[in-house]
Structure 1
């Protein structure tokens, strides 16, 4: 069992990383702007699932193998970069002209996009390899401790994305026009492409 003080310290340590705009927030803004608050749920669920994937890999030691092998880490980083850039290009192409209606996206596809955006993000994996060891008690089972920290992480990012959902909803009620939606979609695609390029070159 992780001490509550350690959990609080872990949350304080990851808060700046959560607050930094990333792929999850970009997807959230796009889908909530396009389809309302119901579209936020698959984005949040996909992101949270990705966190648990990283936590499970860290507990199994698989992420450590990737992080300690420069070749493996580079492969994962480049796959994530290509995915983000491809998702950004696809998102840009969905910004159709105002008179045309965009087809509704399936909820499961939104979930998968959010999941892959998180799983293929080496920065998310590094959290469980560089930060979590500082808050673990080596004389207790590590799996349960990592699960506790991952759950705290999931709750915090859920609160963060939920808060953004309400902010976006308030904005779209005022600016719910085809031009605004198109601009928001293209802004989202630009963010995704920028994140992918940054991941590829760093």
Structure 2
């Protein structure tokens, strides 16, 4: 079992990373703005699932293999970058009036697809994997269950991320009158697409 002070220390260390805008927050703003606050749940669940996947990979040692193999790390990095850039292109196209008219039937509004988007955005982020390979070991006691400690820290990480995304959901909800305006939705979608493209390019370049 992880010592409570270790959990608090881990949360303090990971808080700046959680507060840094990333794909999860961008997806939250996009889907809550477009379809309402209920879309926050699949985004949060998808993000939490991604964190548990990284924790499981760390336990299995697969993440370590990726981090210590330059070829494997590069492959994961570029897959994640391509996914974010693809989301950016799709979002931009959906914000264009002609594209919206022709593709509205095919937009991924189902909770399952939103969940998958959030999960993949997290799983394909090699920096998220590095948290469980470089940061988590600093808060693990060698005389206790290694697996249990990693899962405990992953749970704390997921709860912190959930609170952060819920806080943003409340802020978005309070601005719902403005967010429902078609012109604002189109502008927000274009800004979101640019952010996705920037995240993808940054992931590929770093």
Fold-level similarity (TM above 0.5): yes
User: 2:45 matched to which residue of 1?
Assistant: 45
1:77 corresponds to? 77
Gaps of 5+ in 2: none
1:182 maps to 2:186: yes
* 1:147 and 2:138 are equivalent in the alignment: no
Cα distance between partner residues in 1 of 2:164 and 2:199: 20
Offset at residue 173 of structure 1 (A)? 2.0
Aligned length: 202
2:96–2:186 contact (8 Å) kept in structure 1: yes
- Residue 108, structure 1, aligned to residue 85, structure 2: no
The 3-state SS of whatever aligns with 1:94 is: helix
User: Which residue of the partner structure matches residue 176 of structure 2?
Assistant: 172
| Pairs within 5 Å for 1:91-102 | 91-97=91-97, 100=101, 102=104
Change (3 A) 1:109 1:175: closer
Partner of 1:34: 34
Contact 2:95–2:186 (CA under 8 A) maintained in structure 1: yes
Q: Secondary structure at the match of 1:174?
A: helix
Given that 2:178 and 2:184 are in contact with CA atoms closer than 8 Å, whether structure 1 keeps it comes out as no
Quote the offset at 1:92 in angstroms.
1.0
Q: Deviations over 1:116-164 (max 9, x none)?
A: 0000000100000010000000111110000000000000000000000
Partner residue of 2:87? 87
For 1:136 and 1:175, how far apart are their aligned partners in 2?
A: 44
TM-score (normalised: structure 1): 0.96
Q: CA deviation at 1:97?
A: 2.4
Q: Deviations over 1:99-128 (max 9, x none)?
A: 959446111111100000000000100000
Please report the TM-score for the alignment, with normalisation by the length of structure 2.
Answer: 0.94
Mapped partners of 1:122, 1:87: distance in 2: 17
1:133 to 125, 131, 137: 137
